[in-house]
Structure formats: structure tokens, C-alpha cells
């Protein structure tokens, strides 16, 4: 057993253990620090201010990463439905002249409750719950 | 009035007596004479309580066939082809009667039928044309919603083309017989047969069912527009509308054909399969517009494909790219929008969705690149960590060797194992 | 104030007695010594589970509306979240694998003999706890596969005669798998099970220290070479831990644990619902049993069979010796081989079917 060999072992072991522990601790410390992106509250989305929509107008808003069609049917009546047509997944739109939801792809019509009125859609649109909190429009998942 | 009374009475009596000598005898007869009874088992009319005599007349209560099938008891025998529509309409045009069984059922089938090409020819004495039973079957009539019905969406084509694809049958009408083969190559048949989308159009969706007639040039856009409303709108406001109208050409059909509607692509605008160049020279205004729209659509389609590829690659490498995939669906929608906008035949209409789509394609491509960079970073990180681990293991191995090379003392003497 | 000289801690913590104990501790050195590492590897992986589990707790939220999203958040937004979660999932599986290896090595080296029966019993308890950890943890990401696997699993529990329906209700926290189940499973996974496990683990480890490492009976009477625990065995064990770490790193980085789709209780069950691999053998066996055997219900027979098998296996030290205390080594080895063969073939069959 030479001293050189002993110091090699010490160097290998010390360096190895030190660097491996560092390589375990680095991800852990990065993990502990919360990311800058606040967690998207997926249960509830503040779509915007009440003023964002005139009565009889609509907009597409994001609910998590799903598009939702937010409709202000009248001064006080709000509706929110999934914006994805049940036929071939096109994005639907609000028709302010007939007060219906329309899918342009194959002329499917839904009423404001999401029920299919005419055209190819096989299923109704999923409806969300809209509440007004102060001057904020809050969308939550239906029961 | 009397008829209704009679039917109601017959129905009530049948329910009470439950005697039906037609069925009893014909079941015993076998062969051709038994076939109608066997087929009738699945008939929608049987379930509603009707039986042979309701159409064929006669007396179902008499055991003597000379009585039951006598003219005196109203026996009609085999219904002649010219009489079929009227016979069916006896009930089916009677709103009060039909609505007892189906409150929503229409009662205008005969009224429609007499306006159809089939109905007009039948009225003129041509018995080779279709009447009610040719499409709905004779003794095995089923509800339209019954998948076994010959008029169920998936079976309509087969039913119509039993005659319309038969060259011998069509010869005297000078009608083509290639509609079935053409239709079965179309996107509509693909949607119906492969995706099981029952809303996809079949023969009757465009030609009508009871009032079957070929749509006239002027109404083709309206027929297609029942589903393709946006395209119809754009087309009606496009420079092609007056031009095609003046030429007497049906708009949609001019480019997309009628029965063989293939999935459209950018190739219709430019290149060797282009349709635009059949009328527009390359250096004319129309030719330039077509070329420009083609370039725009192609660039968006290509960009989206590239983004799709890179995101798919990242997903295969185990990266979480669901958000990018979501955005790509948005991009795809812009491409669909841009393709629809072609029907306006103006570059500006196409340019707007293309611009949005390109932005999405660029964004998702970046996301894909980031994900792949992340994958590489993980691999490098793993490499560094593994290097440290192996370094430690090497050190440990050497340490063990050096510890165990020590002269015995710490170890029990007399070891018989290495 | 006392100076913290080396003796200061010694006096207060009893370090020298520990040092003395460690210095005298030895491990039998023979051809089967390598199997002694697996207990330590299992322990090491358990420690990794505790550490990564605590880290995941920083971001995880145990509700049906947020569970999936919070795991997705961990995987996408949190730095190295993918790594921590993948390590937790992979390490869980490797830990159970290591525990199985440890158990079968104990059987084949006949280390359960007097006076180590309690070590065997506590070990069986720890294995059951590990499986309970796996079953409860599987549901926590609230994805489709885990949701339906839990549904199937608790359905099976429900078909146990007499107590089945109560057991299922207790597990699910209601009539069906839902938010209440998630809350419960989370509680089991992070509070109840770790508590019991810690106690049982301390007992298990204490017993190993108390009685030392057993050596195989076939070497009995011979002089068995002994390896000092420190540093010889310790360094080797450390090497095994590092090897496990390297494997874990490779698995986590190259094959990150998938997240799948969010569970939808109203969707129909997707094809190929499978439990975790260590439940495959009983799962597949129950699938094979015909619905009626003679006058008895097939499932009932299956459960009775499993209960008997489990009881038989758990009490192994009690029937391993005859009245005179002689070891029935061949019988135990045979039983071990049979169980191993059954478990591995049925797991593989269950995986492919």
C-alpha cells in the first residue's frame, strides 16, 4: 500500500461522493424554489371584467388549456360552453343575429344551453357555470 | 272516415281475437308463400299491431281461404306497382291515424313522391321506377332509425344503386351508372363508413328522398350550403358567382365534382393537378391570385407539419408537450379557416388566417425545440450525475480492494473462502 | 459552558458504544453474500421514496379537480419536477422488486430460522405495507389508468365474502371511486402508512442488529469466514446503493414516468387496464378462475386460495421446522421455488394478455 495509491483512493472517493451528492442536491434545490409561473387555478377562471363584453356578444376564453365560449346573452345573462364542436372539433362561435351557437365547419347549430338544434353535431356542448364577482366574470366547471 | 273506423275496428278485433288465419295458413304453406310471413316478423307495422289484411284486404278471421281471400271480403291480392304509393298513403297521408303511432311523423310522403322523377314516371305508366317498397322493402319494413332498414344512412347508397348502378336498368333512361363508385371514393362516404358519422350526406341528403330529383344548377350551391354554409356565403360574394352563373355552371360542382367529392387540397390551386389553370392563365389576374393563395396555404401547411413533427418527436422522447399540442390544434384550425377562405377567391381573405396560423406554427416550433433542448439537457445532466456516481463507485472499489488487501487481523483467521 | 470537544458528544450520545458495536459487527462471507445487499438496497430506496415524496408534497394537491393538474404542473413548470416525480415512481417499483429479491433470498438461505422468526414476520408486514403504498400512490395522479385500476382493485375487494362490501366502502370512502377515495388514499399514502412502516422498519432493523446476519444452514458446523461490517461490508453496500442510484437516474431521465390523461369517471374504461406489475399475478389468476367451481363462486374460491396462500407464506418459520426443531430445508426451498415460479409466470402472462 503506497501513499500515492491511498491518496488516489481518497481523491476518487472524496471527489466522487462530493460531486455525486452535489448532482443530487442541485435538482432538489431547484425543485424546492417555486417556479415563477403561478399555478393556473383550473377550477375557476377569471375570464375578465364585465365590461369586456357588450350584451349579445361573445368571446373565446381559456379554461385551463381548453377554449371556452363566453357569451353575454343580455345585460345580466351570461353563458359559458366548451367552444369545441362535438362533430369534428371545430371551434364554435356565437351568432348575435339568431342568439345561437354556430359551428361554421358543417353548419351545426346549438342553443345557448348547448343543445343541438340542427346539423351534424352528435352531442350537446358541455356547459360551464358563470358567476359575476364584483366586476369580474368567473367561470367554473359545472357540477 | 269509414276506412279509419274499419281499421280501428279491425285493429281492436285483432287485439281481442288475436286470430290471424293469413299468418296461420301461410306459415304452414312453406316456400314462396311462407316468405312474406317470415319477413313480416321484423316489420315495424307488425309491432304497431298491423297484419297482412291491413294492406292486402280479405278476412283474417275466416278459416276458409275461399272466404277469407274473396273479393267480397275486400281481398286485393298482390298489389300492382302503380297502386303501391296510394295504398301506403292510405295511412301515411292520414295525419290523425299516423300520429297515434308516431306523433312527429310527417304525412307528406305521397305529395312529395308525385313531384319526384320516380313519381312522375310512375304516373305516366312506367312501372320500372322506384316506389315505396323498392326502398323500404315490402314485408320487412323497418324504422328509418333501425340500422337494418335499407334507408338507414349507411345503407342508403346500396339501396339507391340497386337500380342506379344497374346499366341494363338505366339504359332506357340514359342515366350514368357510375354514381356509386364515384360516391364511394368521396370524403362523404369516408366520413359515413369509416368515421361512422351518420350526419354525412348520402344520396338522399342532396337529391331528397321521397321527392327525389337531381338538384338543378341554380340550387347546387344551396344544397352543398346546407352543411358548408360558410363556403356558400364566401362563394356567393366572390367574383366566381356571376361568372359561373352566366356560364350556366354549378359553382361547387365545377371544382369539387358532384358524387366524387374528394378531400380538397392546395394542389387544386396550382401545380399539374390545378383546376384554376384550366380557365386562368398563369400571368392573368386570376392565375396570380390562385398562385398567391397556393403559396400562402402551402407555407402554413408546411410550417404546421414541421411544428407537428418536432412536437411529436419531443413527446416520443417523454417530454410533456400537451400545451404545444393544444396550440397546434389551434394552428390546424387556422389552416382550415384559410382553406375555407379560398372560396372567396381573393388573396386578402386567405392571408389573415394564414398569418395567425404561421405565428402559432412558429410558437409551437419553438416549444418543440425547447422540449428537445430540455431532453438534451436531461441527458447531459444524467451523464454528469452518472460520471460522479461511477467515479464514486470506482473509488469504493479501490477502497474495498485496499481494505481487504490488509494483512489478516481484522478478518477471522482460517478463511476457506476467497 | 462546556467545550464541544470530541468527548462532549460522545458522552451525550453514546457514540463510542455505537462505534464499538459497529466495529465488532461482522457479516458472514460466503458464495451467497451478495444476497445480503438487497435488504440494504430496499432500505435505501425507501429513503429515496421518503425524500422525493416529501418534495412532491410541496406542490401536490389531493383533490379530483386539482390532483392531475398539480402533477402536470410539477412535471412541466417546476424545475426538475419531472425528475423528482419519475424518480419517485421508478424507485417505488425498484423498491418492491428489491424487497421481493430480499424475501426470496431469505427463504433460500433459510435465514428465517430460530431466533429470527419475528424478523420474518415484520418483513412480511413491511412487504404488505409497500404494496399498500403502491396501491394508494398509484391513484394520486388521478389519471385514467390509475382511476380504473383503483376501480377494479376496490371492486375485487368488494367481492370478498362477508367483509368485502365494508372493506370496499372503507377504501373508497363511499359507494364508488371518487374524490373521497382520493382524499383517503392520500391520507393513507402520506400519513398512515409511513407511520406504521417506520415503526415496523425500526423493529425489523433492530432485530437484525440484535441477532446478527444469519448464515446458511448448509455451512453450519463449518467455520464461516466473517467480513467486518465496517468498512468492508459497508463499502460494498454503498457501492450497491450507488449502482441503484445510477439505474434510477437512467430510468428516470430516459424513460420519464408518463402522466396520461386526466381521469374521467363518466368515460368508459379504456382497454388494457392493468394494475401495477406486482399485483398482476393475483389479478390474472382471478381472471382465469371460472365463475363457478362446483357449487362455490369462483371469485370466492380465488380469494380463499389467496388468503390461505398468504397465511401459509407469512407463517413460513412456523412450519419450516419439524417437532424436534429440525429444518425441513427441502420442503421450504421447494415451496419457495413454486411460489416464485407461479408469481413470475402469472405476472408475465398477466402482462401480455
pLDDT in tens, B236-279: 999 999 999 888 888 888 889 889 898 888 888 988 888 888 88
Model confidence band, residue B129 (pLDDT cutoffs 50, 70, 90): very high
Domain that holds residue C181: 30-271
The C-alpha cell that represents C288 in the structure block: 382465469
Average pLDDT of the segment spanning B73-90: 91
Burial classification of residue B249, based on how many CB atoms lie within 10 Å of its CB (0-12 exposed, 13-18 middle, 19 or more buried):
middle
Q: Are residues B258 and B289 in the same domain?
A: no
H/E run at residue B67? helix B65-68
pLDDT confidence of residue B415 = 38
A67, C65, C143, C270 from C267: Cα distances, Å: 21, 16, 12, 8
Q: Are residues B299 and B361 in the same domain?
A: yes
Residues of C (222-251) whose Cβ lies below 8 Å from A:
242, 245
How many Cα atoms within 13 Å fall on the side-chain side of residue B186? Answer: 21
Contacts of C222 in chain B (CB under 8 A): 416
Q: Is residue B110 part of a domain?
A: no
C242, B393: Cβ pair inside 8 Å?
yes
Question: How long, in residues, is chain B?
Answer: 418
Burial pattern C4-30, b for ≥16 Cβ within 10 A else e, equals: eeeeeeeeeeeeeeeeeeeeebbbbbb
Residue B335 sits at φ, ψ, to 5 deg, of -65, -45
CA–CA min distance A136, chain B (Å): 26
CATH code assigned at C256: 1.20.810.10
Q: Is residue C337 part of a domain?
A: no
C55, A35: Cβ pair inside 8 Å?
no
Q: Is the pLDDT of residue B413 over 70?
A: no
Residue C319 contacts A, CB cutoff 8 Å: no
Q: Are residues B326 and B363 in the same domain?
A: yes
Q: Are residues B317 and B394 in the same domain?
A: yes
Q: Is residue B51 part of a domain?
A: no
Model confidence band, residue A40 (pLDDT cutoffs 50, 70, 90): low
Best to test chain B binding among A5, A19, A26, A29 (most B CBs inside 10 Å): A19
Report d(CA A97, CA A90) in Å as an integer: 21
CA–CA min distance C345, chain B (Å): 30
Model confidence band, residue C290 (pLDDT cutoffs 50, 70, 90): confident
Distance of CA A42 to the CA centre of its chain: 6
CA–CA min distance B268, chain A (Å): 20
Q: Is residue C314 part of a domain?
A: no
Which residues, at least 6 apart from C194, have a Cβ–Cβ distance to it below 8 Å? C50
Question: Which percentage of chain A shows pLDDT scores above 70?
Answer: 92
pLDDT confidence of residue A1 = 52
Contacts of A92 in chain B (CB under 8 A): none
pLDDT confidence of residue C93 = 96
Model confidence band, residue B13 (pLDDT cutoffs 50, 70, 90): low
Average pLDDT of chain B? 87
Residue C232 contacts B, CB cutoff 8 Å: yes
B393, C198, C254, C269, C319 from C145: Cα distances, Å: 38, 30, 22, 9, 40
Report d(CA B268, CA B262) in Å as an integer: 11
- pTM beyond 0.90: the answer is no
Residues in a beta bridge with A45: A139
Considering only the beta carbons, identify the residue of A20, A24, A31 that sits closest to C79.
Answer: A31
The C-alpha cell that represents C275 in the structure block: 394494475
A33, C79: Cβ pair inside 8 Å?
yes
DSSP character at residue B121 = H
Residue A27 contacts C, CB cutoff 8 Å: yes
Q: Is residue B361 part of a domain?
A: yes
Average pLDDT of the segment spanning C196-223: 89
The C-alpha cell that represents C91 in the structure block: 424507485
Q: Are residues B289 and B387 in the same domain?
A: yes
Residue C65 contacts A, CB cutoff 8 Å: yes
Domain that holds residue B253: 215-262
Q: Is residue C225 part of a domain?
A: yes
A30, C66: Cβ pair inside 8 Å?
no
Average pLDDT of the segment spanning B324-348: 90
- Give yes or no for a contact between C3 and C63, defined as CB atoms under 8 angstroms apart: no
Model confidence band, residue B406 (pLDDT cutoffs 50, 70, 90): low
Q: Is residue C220 part of a domain?
A: yes
Which residues, at least 6 apart from C220, have a Cβ–Cβ distance to it below 8 Å? none
- Give yes or no for a contact between B399 and C235, defined as CB atoms under 8 angstroms apart: yes
Side by side, the strands of the sheet bearing A127-133 are A44-49, A136-141, A127-133, A78-82, A66-72, A57-63
Most confident stretch, A125-139, B402-416, C320-334: A125-139
Average pLDDT of the segment spanning B179-191: 93
Which residues, at least 6 apart from B3, have a Cβ–Cβ distance to it below 8 Å? B90
Best to test chain B binding among A42, A95, A104 (most B CBs inside 10 Å): A104
Q: Are residues B340 and B234 in the same domain?
A: no
Average pLDDT of chain C? 89
Average pLDDT of the segment spanning C168-180: 91
Contacts of C80 in chain A (CB under 8 A): 27-28, 30-31
Radius of gyration from C-alpha coordinates of chain A: 28
- Contacts of range C281-285, beta carbons closer than 8 Å, 24 or more positions apart: C281/C342, C281/C343, C281/C344, C281/C346, C281/C347, C281/C350, C282/C306, C282/C346, C283/C152, C283/C156, C283/C350, C284/C346, C284/C347, C284/C349, C284/C350, C284/C353, C285/C346
Contacts of B197 in chain A (CB under 8 A): 87, 120, 122
Number of domains chain C contains? 1
Radius of gyration from C-alpha coordinates of chain C: 23
pLDDT confidence of residue B187 = 93
Closest CA to B276 of B260, B297, B306, B299: B297
pLDDT (tens digit per residue) in C242-285: 999 999 999 998 888 888 888 877 777 777 777 889 988 888 88
Considering only the beta carbons, identify the residue of C72, C246, C256 that sits closest to B389.
Answer: C246
Average pLDDT of the segment spanning B285-312: 94
C69, A40: Cβ pair inside 8 Å?
yes
Number of domains chain B contains? 2
Model confidence band, residue B88 (pLDDT cutoffs 50, 70, 90): very high
A46, B218, C233 from A41: Cα distances, Å: 9, 54, 51
Comparing A129-133, B401-405, C212-216, C294-298, the range with the smallest average pLDDT is: C294-298
pLDDT (tens digit per residue) in A95-112: 999 999 999 888 899 999
Q: Is the pLDDT of residue C214 over 90?
A: no
pLDDT confidence of residue B9 = 58
A17, B274, B277, B278 from B282: Cα distances, Å: 72, 11, 7, 10
Question: Which percentage of chain C shows pLDDT scores above 90?
Answer: 50
pLDDT (tens digit per residue) in C106-138: 999 999 988 899 999 999 999 999 999 999 999
pLDDT confidence of residue B12 = 56
Q: Is residue B222 part of a domain?
A: yes
Q: Are residues B392 and B335 in the same domain?
A: yes
CA–CA min distance A75, chain C (Å): 31
Q: Is residue C335 part of a domain?
A: no
pLDDT confidence of residue B5 = 58
Q: Are residues B220 and B301 in the same domain?
A: no
Q: Is residue B81 part of a domain?
A: no
Q: Is residue C18 part of a domain?
A: no
pLDDT confidence of residue B416 = 38
pLDDT confidence of residue A42 = 62
Residue C308: count other Cβ atoms within 10 Å of its Cβ.
10
pLDDT (tens digit per residue) in B312-327: 998 887 787 888 888 8
Report d(CA C207, CA C125) in Å as an integer: 14
Amino acid at each position: 500500500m503506497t501513499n500515492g495509491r491511498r491518496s488516489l483512493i481518497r481523491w476518487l472517493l472524496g471527489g466522487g461522493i462530493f460531486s455525486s451528492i452535489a448532482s443530487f442536491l442541485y435538482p432538489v434545490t431547484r425543485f424546492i424554489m417555486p417556479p415563477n409561473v403561478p399555478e393556473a387555478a383550473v377550477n375557476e377562471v377569471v375570464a375578465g371584467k364585465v365590461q369586456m363584453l357588450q350584451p349579445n356578444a361573445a368571446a373565446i376564453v381559456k379554461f385551463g388549456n381548453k377554449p371556452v365560449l363566453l357569451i353575454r346573452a343580455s345585460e345580466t345573462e351570461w353563458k359559458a360552453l366548451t367552444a369545441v364542436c362535438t362533430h369534428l372539433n371545430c371551434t364554435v362561435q356565437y351568432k348575435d343575429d339568431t342568439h345561437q351557437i354556430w359551428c361554421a365547419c358543417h353548419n351545426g347549430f346549438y342553443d345557448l344551453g348547448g343543445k343541438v338544434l340542427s346539423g351534424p353535431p352528435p352531442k350537446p356542448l358541455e356547459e360551464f357555470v358563470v358567476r359575476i364577482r364584483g366586476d369580474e366574470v368567473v367561470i367554473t366547471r359545472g357540477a | 272516415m269509414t276506412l279509419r273506423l274499419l281499421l280501428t275496428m279491425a285493429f281492436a278485433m285483432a287485439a281481442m281475437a288475436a286470430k290471424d288465419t293469413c299468418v296461420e295458413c301461410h306459415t304452414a304453406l312453406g316456400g314462396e308463400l311462407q316468405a312474406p310471413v317470415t319477413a313480416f316478423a321484423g316489420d315495424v307495422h307488425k309491432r304497431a299491431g298491423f297484419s297482412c289484411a291491413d294492406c292486402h284486404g280479405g278476412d283474417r278471421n275466416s278459416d276458409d281461404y275461399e272466404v277469407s281471400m274473396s273479393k267480397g271480403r275486400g281481398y286485393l291480392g298482390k298489389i300492382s306497382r302503380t297502386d303501391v304509393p296510394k295504398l301506403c298513403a292510405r295511412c301515411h297521408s292520414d295525419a290523425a291515424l299516423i300520429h297515434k303511432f308516431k306523433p312527429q311523423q310527417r304525412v307528406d310522403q305521397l305529395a312529395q313522391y308525385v313531384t319526384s322523377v320516380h313519381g312522375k314516371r310512375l304516373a305516366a305508366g312506367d312501372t320500372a321506377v322506384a316506389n315505396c317498397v323498392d326502398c323500404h322493402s315490402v314485408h320487412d319494413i323497418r324504422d328509418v332509425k333501425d340500422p337494418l332498414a335499407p334507408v338507414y344512412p349507411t345503407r342508403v347508397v346500396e339501396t339507391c344503386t340497386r337500380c342506379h348502378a344497374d346499366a341494363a336498368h338505366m339504359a332506357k333512361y340514359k342515366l350514368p351508372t357510375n354514381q356509386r363508385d364515384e360516391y364511394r371514393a368521396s370524403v362523404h362516404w369516408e366520413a359515413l363508413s369509416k368515421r361512422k358519422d351518420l350526419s354525412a350526406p348520402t344520396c338522399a341528403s342532396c337529391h331528397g328522398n321521397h321527392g327525389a330529383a337531381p338538384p338543378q344548377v341554380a340550387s347546387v350551391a344551396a344544397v352543398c350550403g346546407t352543411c358548408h354554409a360558410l363556403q356558400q356565403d364566401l362563394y356567393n360574394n366572390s367574383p366566381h358567382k356571376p361568372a359561373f352563373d352566366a356560364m350556366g355552371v354549378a359553382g361547387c360542382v365545377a371544382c369539387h365534382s358532384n358524387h366524387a367529392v374528394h378531400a380538397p387540397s392546395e394542389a387544386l390551386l396550382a401545380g399539374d393537378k390545378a383546376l384554376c389553370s384550366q380557365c386562368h392563365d398563369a400571368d392573368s389576374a386570376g392565375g396570380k391570385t390562385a398562385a398567391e393563395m397556393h403559396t400562402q396555404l402551402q407555407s402554413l401547411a408546411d410550417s404546421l407539419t414541421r411544428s407537428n413533427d418536432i412536437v411529436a418527436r419531443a413527446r416520443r422522447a417523454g417530454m410533456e408537450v400537451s400545451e404545444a399540442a393544444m396550440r397546434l390544434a389551434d394552428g390546424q384550425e387556422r389552416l382550415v379557416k384559410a382553406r375555407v377562405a379560398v372560396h372567396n377567391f381573393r388573396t386578402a381573405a386567405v392571408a389573415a388566417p394564414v398569418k395567425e396560423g404561421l405565428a402559432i406554427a412558429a410558437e409551437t416550433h419553438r416549444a418543440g425545440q425547447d422540449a428537445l433542448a430540455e431532453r438534451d439537457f436531461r441527458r447531459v445532466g444524467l451523464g454528469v450525475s452518472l460520471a460522479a456516481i461511477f467515479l464514486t463507485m470506482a473509488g469504493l472499489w479501490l477502497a474495498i480492494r485496499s481494505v481487504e488487501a490488509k494483512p489478516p487481523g481484522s478478518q477471522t483467521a482460517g478463511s476457506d473462502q476467497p | 459552558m462546556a467545550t464541544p470537544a470530541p468527548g462532549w458528544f460522545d458522552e451525550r450520545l453514546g457514540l463510542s458504544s455505537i462505534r464499538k458495536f459497529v466495529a465488532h459487527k461482522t457479516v458472514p462471507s460466503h458464495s451467497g453474500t451478495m444476497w445480503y445487499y438487497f435488504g440494504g438496497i430496499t432500505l435505501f430506496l425507501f429513503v429515496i421514496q421518503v425524500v422525493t415524496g416529501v418534495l412532491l408534497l410541496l406542490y401536490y394537491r389531493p383533490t379530483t379537480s386539482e390532483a392531475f393538474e398539480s402533477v402536470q404542473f410539477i412535471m412541466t413548470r417546476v424545475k426538475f419536477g419531472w425528475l423528482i416525480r419519475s424518480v419517485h415512481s421508478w424507485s417505488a417499483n425498484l423498491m418492491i422488486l428489491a424487497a421481493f429479491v430480499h424475501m426470496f433470498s431469505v427463504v433460500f438461505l433459510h435465514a428465517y430460522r430460530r431466533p429470527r422468526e419475528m424478523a420474518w414476520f415484520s418483513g412480511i408486514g413491511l412487504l404488505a405495507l409497500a404494496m399498500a403504498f403502491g396501491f394508494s400512490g398509484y391513484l394520486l395522479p388521478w389519471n385514467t389508468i390509475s382511476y380504473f385500476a383503483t376501480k377494479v382493485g376496490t371492486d375485487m375487494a368488494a367481492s370478498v365474502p362477508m367483509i368485502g362490501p365494508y372493506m370496499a366502502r372503507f377504501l373508497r370512502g363511499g359507494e364508488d371511486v371518487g374524490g373521497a377515495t382520493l382524499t383517503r388514499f392520500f391520507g393513507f399514502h402520506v400519513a398512515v402508512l409511513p407511520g406504521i412502516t417506520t415503526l415496523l422498519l425500526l423493529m425489523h432493523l433492530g432485530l437484525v442488529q440484535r441477532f446478527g446476519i444469519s448464515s446458511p444452514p448448509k455451512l453450519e458446523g463449518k467455520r464461516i469466514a466473517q467480513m467486518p461490517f465496517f468498512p468492508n461490508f459497508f463499502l460494498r453496500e454503498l457501492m450497491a446503493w450507488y449502482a441503484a442510484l445510477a439505474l434510477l437516474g437512467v430510468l428516470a431521465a430516459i424513460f420519464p414516468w408518463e402522466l396520461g390523461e386526466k381521469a374521467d369517471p363518466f368515460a368508459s374504461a379504456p382497454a388494457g387496464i392493468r394494475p401495477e406489475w406486482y399485483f398482476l399475478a393475483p389479478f390474472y389468476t382471478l381472471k382465469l378462475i371460472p365463475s363457478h367451481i362446483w357449487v362455490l363462486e369462483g371469485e370466492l374460491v380465488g380469494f380463499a386460495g389467496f388468503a390461505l396462500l398468504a397465511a401459509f407464506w407469512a407463517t413460513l418459520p412456523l412450519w419450516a421446522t419439524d417437532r424436534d426443531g429440525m429444518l425441513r430445508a427441502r420442503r421450504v426451498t421447494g415451496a419457495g421455488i413454486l411460489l416464485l415460479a407461479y408469481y413470475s409466470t402469472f405476472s408475465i402472462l398477466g402482462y401480455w394478455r
